[in-house]
Amino acid sequence: MASQLSNGRGPLLEVSGLSVDYVTEAADVRAVDHVDLEVQPGEFLGIVGESGCGKSTLLFAIAQLLSPPAEIAGGTVVFKGRDMVKLTDDELRHIRWRDYSVVMQSAMNALNPMKSIEGQFRDTLEAHDSMSRKAIRDRSAEVLHLVGIDAVHLKSYPHQLSGGMRQRAMIAMALLFTPDLVIMDEPTSALDVVAQRSLMSQIKDLQKRLGFAVIFVTHDMSLVRHYSDRLMVMYAGQVAELGETASIFDDPLHPYSKGLLDAFPSIRGPRRPLTGIPGSPPDLARPPSGCRFQPRCPVAMAQCVATAPDLYEVNGTQVRCLLHAEAPKDAAAV
């Protein structure tokens, strides 16, 4: 999929060796550990994992929105040819909203409760462009219309909108400048299942029409099943599996991916019992020896306690599991 989506200019986003530490008095805790990923123009990448697996921290690191005690400990985030890690706050302010935007988990927290939707759109537009009042009003009405909300709601305050409408207003705000990349952190998690599915369809439709790329973080694997081109499964701050979504759903290689798939109902597939994954992700201040998933893995082997798996490549999918250690990634590339 990646090569089909490439426009010949290379990836839109290239993350290499990205690590994030939570710096505490007791010790530095590595929440994101040497993550590599690429996003092609117009691609939809899903990032899944349980709470505490580092997916939201990774997303905030990519968007350069980390705040203490979290800090980037190493690696690069090259977006449209520039390493965002090296940009100043002013340079970042210039490209945020214009070139990439972020949709947060809770619009209620992200939107200013004291301002109308129109006021918030106006602030964002005026901070990045000099536009006439009429042009601002027209663009605000246009993006609201894009997400299926009548322009009459430009006058509404966040508390006057339903949860689904607030999330859609946030997405409209993210599209004010038609950015190349929209980064979304569980934007549907506060909604009921029907509203979730409806919002997902709308995001996908907008993405196809406007051509922007999406990075979409969720703990619910079934949510991105029909919308993402590729999927990255994260566990304990590391990439557990990365490949085409269809391939991971048809044949998950990592035992953690299998567990996640069994933990959520499929909306279209055959009915099957939900089993889930016993236990919880490790304390990253004291990760287990060897494979980090080993204490919860139903097929762990003796060697999994002593040997930390690398990422191995199997038919185009990367997987961090010793069951697939015959084909180390570096060797496969030679």
Q: Out of 6, 300, 310, 329, which residue is the one contacting ligand SF4 (CB under 6 A)?
A: 300
Taking the complex as a whole, how short is the minimal distance between the CB of residue 307 and ligand SF4, in angstroms?
8
Which C-beta is closer to ligand SF4: that of 277 or that of 304? 304
Would you count residue 57 as binding ligand SF4 (CB under 6 A)? no
CA–CA separation, 282 and 296 (whole Å)? 10
Would you count residue 302 as binding ligand SF4 (CB under 6 A)? no
| φ, ψ at 116 (rounded to 5°) | -70, 165
Residue from 176, 184, 169 nearest 108 by CA: 169
Would you count residue 49 as binding ligand SF4 (CB under 6 A)? no
| Number of residues lying near ligand SF4 (CB under 6 A) | 13
Would you count residue 152 as binding ligand SF4 (CB under 6 A)? no
Counting every residue written for the chain, the total comes to 334
Residue from 30, 12, 87, 17 nearest 286 by CA: 30
Would you count residue 293 as binding ligand SF4 (CB under 6 A)? yes
The DSSP code sequence of 83-151 is EGGG--HHHHHHHBTTTEEEE-S-HHHHS-TTS-HHHHHHHHHHHH----HHHHHHHHHHHHHHTT--G
Which C-beta is closer to ligand SF4: that of 144 or that of 311? 311
Would you count residue 13 as binding ligand SF4 (CB under 6 A)? no
Q: Out of 183, 199, 200, 297, which residue is the one contacting ligand SF4 (CB under 6 A)?
A: 297
Taking the complex as a whole, how short is the minimal distance between the CB of residue 18 and ligand SF4, in angstroms?
22
Which C-beta is closer to ligand SF4: that of 123 or that of 310? 310
Residue from 234, 164, 233 nearest 201 by CA: 164
Which residues between 220 and 259 bind ligand SF4 (CB under 6 A)? 255
| Residue 28: count of CB within 10 angstroms of its CB | 13
Q: Out of 64, 245, 294, 318, which residue is the one contacting ligand SF4 (CB under 6 A)?
A: 294
Which of the ranges 16-24, 35-43, 105-113, 293-301 carries the binding residues for ligand SF4, by CB under 6 A?
293-301
Taking the complex as a whole, how short is the minimal distance between the CB of residue 57 and ligand SF4, in angstroms?
22
Which of the ranges 4-12, 123-131, 173-181, 294-302 carries the binding residues for ligand SF4, by CB under 6 A?
294-302
**Furthest CA-CA distance within the chain:** 68
* Distance from chain centroid for Cα 208: 18
- Helix (H/G/I), strand (E/B), else coil: 39: strand
The DSSP code sequence of 49-94 is --TTSSHHHHHHHHTT---TTEEEEEEEEEETTEEGGG--HHHHHH
CA–CA separation, 192 and 223 (whole Å)? 12
* Distance from chain centroid for Cα 115: 28
Would you count residue 173 as binding ligand SF4 (CB under 6 A)? no
Q: Which helix (H) or strand (E) holds 45?
A: strand 44-48
Would you count residue 291 as binding ligand SF4 (CB under 6 A)? yes
Which of the ranges 146-154, 212-220, 281-289, 321-329 carries the binding residues for ligand SF4, by CB under 6 A?
321-329
Taking the complex as a whole, how short is the minimal distance between the CB of residue 71 and ligand SF4, in angstroms?
29
Would you count residue 317 as binding ligand SF4 (CB under 6 A)? no
Which C-beta is closer to ligand SF4: that of 163 or that of 295? 295
Provide the binding-site residues for ligand SF4, judged by CB under 6 A. Answer: 255, 291, 293-294, 297, 299-301, 304, 309, 321-323
